[in-house]
Structure 1
Amino acid sequence: MQNRKPFRLKSLIIVYDSVQIVGNGFSLFLFYKHGWSWRYFYECRSPDFSNNEQSLGFVHAAYFTYLLKIMELMETVMYAFRKKNSQISFFHVYHHCYACVTAWGFTKYGGGSMLSYTIMVNCIVHVFMYTYYLSSAIADRLPFSLKHVKKFVTTLQIVCKTFQLLLDKLLNFTFVSGAIVKRFSEHRFRAETKLCHST
């Protein structure tokens, strides 16, 4: 592979970016359809493990998002085939692996909880991000420059990631090796949940 020419994957990239835009938009729709609202930013909502329609809908939406995160690993493979090694940074690989593990953890343990805001924010950012990537792939056909759009997307990513980390810290969640770990024992978590719902 080292001595081969880079693959041209423009058509595949256009399809991939389009699927990501539609997939992340659909993920937002699924969460909203099953009762997600902006209250999840400021209300204490513990995971709902019941079998009611809303709870199961949240799990299905989370699972769909998890599948999207697995699909995002293809991005790294495409970078390698295109010999864009500068884009395969430690942060890039860590972020995509971390996203897969946390999406799995949310699907298994946190469906319907207030942690769903991180998925919603991530999906919104990904719609913008992959729209920019798609536009870049067809930039020669666009009647305008993407220079300012790139700055906007980068700023949006940084602001949203900072916002997510701050909220996670305020909500007493710690990230260890990409998994969401509750700081307190199960007994303490139940006690805090009761307190949260009583106020």
Structure 2
Amino acid sequence: MFAHIADFLSRSPPDPVRLPLTGSHWPVLIILTTYMVLIKIVGPLFMRNRKPYDLIGVIKAYNIMQIIYNTVFLVFSVYFMLGPGNFNFKCITNLPLDHEYKNWERWLCYSYFFNKMLDLVETGFFVLRKKYRQISFLHVFHHVYMVYICFLYLYYFGYGGNGLFLVTLNVVVHIMMYTYYYQSSLSQNSQGDLWWKKYITIVQLAQFGIILCHSLYVLRQADCPASYLSATWGSLISVVFIILFGNFYVRAYILPRKKVPRRAH
């Protein structure tokens, strides 16, 4: 496996088309470092002696934008995979560079990467509203990981292929998530009062289960030219996220239920 990693990291990008922020590691690393400094140091210091900002209007607009953005991506991605891309889901490979629909594949993948950048804004809202409990390790790790892994995939593996199929599953989760955020912003109740909140985590766990099974299936096919490292990493990180999100689900929805005292008869 280490030989595969060394070979993978030493090779040149397979696609000569370098869309914004995908030509080098440095822009993405600077953005993520700035993000961490702002949410962990600068933001809390700025808000120390200030009251939480009322951002309900901005948050509503942001959630609506995310719902529309992710829905449009989902429609175009499914259409592309079943239509012009003609994906073989048993072994999904990138389209050739001279394929007539290669630019479709490039911009679809890039639009997902760009959206992961937009997702970072959400943490800024938490800081400005002093919702520090929501800036958990899982929240920060997930946002940072998604931005950088998308960059690594585009830089080292190219646009499309197996990665496009996997992120399309993730978009379904995000449509649910931002719909939930928007619905909760319309109510005076807390987010925890919305009965279907826990099902977002269940869908996330199902998503990682599908990714794990599909990645393992790809690895079992010796004649599949899809990236060995991509499938290996997909399976490993799926296990990590299943553990993290599974732990969150247990602590948020199972343990509190057990602590509720039984009524006296």
TM bracket, shorter-chain basis: 0.7 to 0.9
State how far apart, in whole Å, the 2-side matches of 1:123 and 1:81 are: 26
| Partner deviation per Cα, 1:71-124 (whole Å, 9 max, x = no partner) | 000011111111111111111111111111222234342423123221110011
State how far apart, in whole Å, the 2-side matches of 1:43 and 1:12 are: 43
Letter matched to residue 14 of structure 1: K
Cα displacement (A) at 1:153? 1.7
1:31 to 77, 80, 85: 77
Report which stretch shifted further, 106-115 or 52-61: 106-115
Letter matched to residue 16 of structure 1: Y
2:176 to 111, 128, 131: 128
Letter matched to residue 51 of structure 2: K
State how far apart, in whole Å, the 2-side matches of 1:43 and 1:166 are: 12
- RMSD of the alignment, in Å? 2.8
- CA 1:31–1:17 in structure 2 vs 1: closer, same or farther (change >3 Å)? same
Match of 1:152 in 2: 199
Contact kept in structure 1, 2:60 and 2:182, CA below 8 Å: yes
Match of 2:67 in 1: 21
Letter matched to residue 137 of structure 1: S
Q: How does 1:88-127 map to 2 (within 5 A)?
A: 88-108=135-155, 109-127=157-175
Cα displacement (A) at 1:162? 3.1
Match of 2:246 in 1: none
Is 1:74 the counterpart of 2:132 in the alignment? no
- CA 1:4–1:156 in structure 2 vs 1: closer, same or farther (change >3 Å)? same
Cα displacement (A) at 1:11? 0.7
Q: Secondary structure at the match of 1:69?
A: helix
> TM-score, normalized by length of structure 1?
0.76
Cα displacement (A) at 1:140? 4.2
Cα displacement (A) at 1:29? 2.2
Cα displacement (A) at 1:149? 1.5
| Partner deviation per Cα, 1:9-44 (whole Å, 9 max, x = no partner) | 11111011111111111111222343347x858421
Aligned identity (percent) is: 28
Contact kept in structure 1, 2:90 and 2:218, CA below 8 Å: no
Alignment gaps of 5+ in structure 2: 1-46, 220-230, 238-265
Contact kept in structure 2, 1:31 and 1:57, CA below 8 Å: no
State how far apart, in whole Å, the 2-side matches of 1:55 and 1:105 are: 19
Letter matched to residue 117 of structure 1: F
State how far apart, in whole Å, the 1-side matches of 2:161 and 2:193 are: 37
State how far apart, in whole Å, the 2-side matches of 1:98 and 1:40 are: 27
